[in-house]
Amino acid sequence: MIKHIVMWNVRGDTPEDKAQAIAQVQRSFESLRGLIPGLLKLEIGVDTSRIDYACDVVLYTEFDNQASLDAYAGHAEHHRVKNELEGLRIARHQVDFTAS
């Protein structure tokens, strides 16, 4: 199994702007459920710590193998989500690893 974790900070001049951006990230990624072969699990988490070095939102996904993760990266629905979120993100961090 491959775990794919992505964290973002989003744009927003006010807390309300940030909340709207985070909600869009959530909606966009949740719309992928059931559409990507090999995507076993998808969770979206919103930071509650409010510490200055925390990211705003995290995507946690599990894929059955590396080939499925590679296919996800090029999948049309994933590209749709990336386009929907264009301009909302100001920082992005990613970790992919094989679960033992």
Residue 64's domain comprises 2-98
Average model confidence (pLDDT) for the chain?
Answer: 96
CATH assignment of the domain containing 76 = 3.30.70.100
Give the closest residue to 33 by CA, choosing from 65, 61, 57, 13.
61
**Domains: count for the chain:** 1
- Here the tokens at position 2 are 């491959």
pLDDT digit string (tens) for 49-95? 989 999 999 999 999 999 999 999 999 999 999 999 999 999 999 99
Give the closest residue to 43 by CA, choosing from 29, 53, 55, 28.
29
Q: What is the pTM of this model?
A: 0.92
Confidence of residue 100 (pLDDT cuts 50, 70, 90): confident
